[in-house]
Amino acid sequence: MTVAGEDVWAPLTLASQSPQRAAILSQLGVAFHAIAPHVEERADGAPERLAVENARRKADAVEGTLVLGVDTIVAVGGRPYGKPRDGDEAALVLGLLSGREHEVWSGIALRSAGATEVRSARTAVRFRRLSAAEVRWYIDSEEWLGRAGGYAIQGRGAALVEAIEGDFWNAVGLPVAELLTLAPERIVGVGQSDHRGAIPRSVSTSRSSSSAV
């Protein structure tokens, strides 16, 4: 199958070195290879627009027939927060998120045949009220390194979360439902491996105040 002369069944190029995004694509059975995009990411602006623009920049920065760029941003009160620079900054961000709801925005950009299609996704996450000891426990784990908002919901960061509304995989770093809406024939059907995971097309997870992800 071709789109504007391009082979859409060619292997996907992931413009990211995120192990979380790579793991999700692998569970979907998608054949891909990852290349780190060397781009300057924007840090200021409306969170949704920022995530989409950064995703587009990443997709445009990497060579390939079919290139996927993704960017994820945590926002509180409309203010975006990226990856903390050090442990002190990570602790400050976790203190800000403590006991309140924040948004996780992801932008995805899929470039093929010289054209780029984009989508965005939003997930609402509420943190438990964290004690100083809990913040220190998480900072000491170093799991916050390289994570938007300074936490990983699929890891030890699950212990920080009280509730989630929306796509769980978006909060991890790759909105599966939006990706499949964007190009199901080019993603689900692109070079599927024999190891197909059990990730559904759309995942929404919510938890009561007494549960943990």
Catalytic-role residue among 71, 86, 88, 140 = 71
Instruction: Report in angstroms the alpha-carbon separations of 183 from 8, 38, 68, 156.
Output: 10, 25, 11, 32
Would you list the DSSP string of the chain?
A: -EETTEETTSPEEES---HHHHHHHHHTT--EEE---------SS-HHHHHHHHHHHHHHTS-SSEEEEEEEEEEETTEEE---SSHHHHHHHHHHHTTSEEEEEEEEEEEETTEEEEEEEEEEEEEPPPPHHHHHHHHHHTTTTT-GGG--TTTGGGGGEEEEESBHHHHHT--HHHHHHH-HHHHTTSS--S------S--B----TT---
**Is 71 one of the annotated active-site residues of the chain?**
yes
Residues pairing with 122 in the sheet: 105
HSE at residue 52, side-chain half, CA atoms within 13 A, is 13
So which residues are the catalytic ones?
71
